Chains A and B, each alone.
Chain A
Amino acid sequence: MKLNNYAGFVAVGLVFLLSEAALAGIAGSSHDFRGAVSDVRTRLNNPTEICKVCHIPHSTASGSYLNPASRISAGAVTLHGGSMATPANSSAVCLSCHDGSVASRVGASSTDYSTTHPFLVTYPSGAGFRPAVGGNVTGASGSLPLEGAARNRVECGTCHNPHERGAGSKFLRIENTNSNLCLTCHQK
C-alpha cells in the first residue's frame, strides 16, 4: 500500500518534470498554439493550450492527455515511393496537422527532405545500418528511439522530438550538422 503510494508520487513527479521540459521546448515554436496563459497546470487544463493539440483529453478521466498514441487507430498508409505502413504512435499525430492544411504537407512528392528519405518504415538489421539495441539506434551524436509494439519502426518521432524544437527549430532529436542525424543510422 505504502509502496504503491510512493510509486504514484514518483510517477506524478516525473510527469510534472517532463511537462515542464516539454513546455520549455515547445513555447514560442511553430507548435505553440496557445493564448496568453503562463501557469503550466492551467495550460494542461485549458482546451486551447499547448499540450492539448497533441494530447487530446479523455472526456471522462483526467490525466489522459499524456497518451496521444493510444488514441490513434491503426490504418494502412502509402507514402514515399509506395511503402505500406501503419501510422502508429507519433506519426499519426503529426500527420493529422501536416497534411497541407493546418501545417505543411509531408508526403510522397513534396519538395522537402521527404523526397530524399523514406519514413514510416521498418528499421532493417544488416550492412549499412547501425544495429538497433532495445529499440534505440545509438551513434556518436546521440540516440534515436524506434517506435511501434516491436520498437522497430522509423516514425516521425524517431528523428523529431515532439517536445523540443532544438537549435535549428526543426524539432530534431539530433541536429543534422555534418549529417550527424543521418549517420546515427546509416553507416558508411
Chain B
Amino acid sequence: MSEVAISIRQLTMAYGDNVIQRDLSFEVQRGDIFVIMGGSGCGKSTLLRHLIGLQAPKAGSVCYGEEDFWAATEAGQDALKRRFGVLFQAGALWSSLTLAENVALPLEEFTALPAAAIREIVSTKLALVGLAGFEHYYPSEISGGMKKRAGLARAMALNPEILFFDEPSAGLDPLSSRRLDELILELRDSLGATVVLVTHELPSIFAVANNSVFLDADSKTMIASGDPKHLAAHGPEAVRNFLSRGESS
C-alpha cells in the first residue's frame, strides 16, 4: 500500500544567506513512522518548519500527495494544514487557555460539533496522553513533560492524517518516553496516521521508525535515508556511528 504522503524534492533551506541544508530529496510513505536524524544544529527543526508551512524553502518543493505546498494559494495551504497536527519542542500550549480549551480550540474552529461532544473528545484526548483530570489547569501550572503531552493531545484533536513531532521524548522520563513510543505506534495503527518525528532517542528510533533521513551538518546535505535498522548495519560510517550507541545498549 505504498502511497506517497510527502515528497521533498531538491529542498534547500537557509536563514538569509546562511544555507543550513541543500538538495534534500526523499519521500515519506503513507503509514510511515519517519525519523529525521542528525547531530544537534544540523537543521532538523528547520526541516520540520519547512514541512509544516512555517518557513518557505530557498529552493525546491514540499509536496503533499500531488499538491506543492509552497506553490499553493493561501486557502490551499490552509486546507493542507488542516490535515496535519504538530507537536512543538516545548508543547507550545496557548498560555491564556486551560488544557481543555487548548485541545478544544481546533475543534471549535474547524468542526460543527456541539459543545458537549467537544468536551467528550477533549477528555478522551487528554486521557490518552495521561492527563485525565487536568482539564482546568493552565499551562503555567504543569511541568514541562506534561506540557508536551498536552501539546500532543492538541495535535491529535482533529485526527490528523500526518503528525509531526519535534523531539517528543526530550525531557520525559524513560517510562513516559516508552509510553509515547507506544502511543505513536498506536496512532499509526489505529488511525492510519503518518508520523514524522525528529528525535535523538536511539531506543525509540529502533522501536518505532521504519524510514528515516540523516542530515549531516558538515556537508550540509542528507547522507543517508531508509530504514534505520538497515542503516545501522549498512549505512555510511557517520550514520552507523550515530546509531551504534543504541544497538549495544
- Indicate whether A and B interact: no
